[in-house]
Structure 1
Amino acid sequence: MHDHVLTFKCDLDILGTANSFLKHTLVPAQVTYPWSTETRSTMQLQKETVANEDQGKLNWPDNGSGMFVVANVEKPNAFGESPGFLIKPSQGGAGTYLTVQNSSNLKEAGHFTSNHLFVAQRRDTEPFASHSDNSNDPGNPIVNFNDFSNSEGLEQQDLVLWFNLGMG
């Protein structure tokens, strides 16, 4: 048995290269509305900014309860909303990442497959998540994706998304 994981690099620039990455999650809530005398079970949208590359190692939310946004928070539109692109993960097998974590075969060469999505600052020195010759020396790969994530800040930076699609 084995997985097939395809990794894509996506560079979205919203009104310039200074963008932020946001998590929007639907959470259960108990709310008393001004027009009601009773508390209602409902849901609310919880918004959170992903501050750094360590927090940018993400998996698709359970139950379709979340989405991600690449936005320019410094250039709100006429309605006070930050323009951006919404990423709404689908349910099903499209978001496969490597099933076997810390593989003794892949060693340091397969870190790009450990999550569905990675958010990082854009670097010209990081054009690919892997290299065709990584399998020659997986303990010391030509491209080690783990080096791409080094706690750098993600707020209003030139961002790239690395996301995995595939099947188990």
Structure 2
Amino acid sequence: MNPSIDGLMYAASQLFLIPVLAAIGLLFVYAFYALGAFLWQMAQRRAGVAAGFELAVARRADPCLQPAQLESIAVARLERVRIATRVTPMLGLVATMIPMGPALTALGEGDLGDVSRSLTVAFSAVILALIAAALTYWIGQVRRRWYADDLLAIEQGDLAARPAGEGAR
């Protein structure tokens, strides 16, 4: 028997459902981990605790660091959140589309129970993915502004003079 290309593609796509759902679950957990770290850093910045100002801490540890090197540190610090922001919605779309094949097949056979189960998986996955993406996007944007403000203050030589709480805006 010679399998058709569309049958092979369908079978191959179904193999990815569990790994994609697992990745969405991990990214959802990561988003809340990142949120906790972000809130902790926000509290530190508002209280004027040095650890909340990572670039200033790096500059104090190595006064020879140039602004470009500090910017590289900031980009590296934002990398995981930025990747999560971009990858999570893509995985959500994949997790929505994979169960649609079985749902449409079940609909054609009149099995509304299977349709319901497949659509529940599809919509649940995309909801979790979008929540994770929204959280990591927000965290990334605020941190990016913090780092830009901190770089400017370091270049002007007045990060230490910044009043407590000013960096948390």
Query: Per the shorter chain, which TM-score range?
Result: under 0.3
More strand by share: 1
With normalisation by structure 1, the TM-score equals 0.26
Which structure is larger by alpha-carbon Rg, 1 or 2? 2
Provide the TM-score with structure 2 as the length reference. 0.26
Structure (1/2) with the larger helix percentage: 2
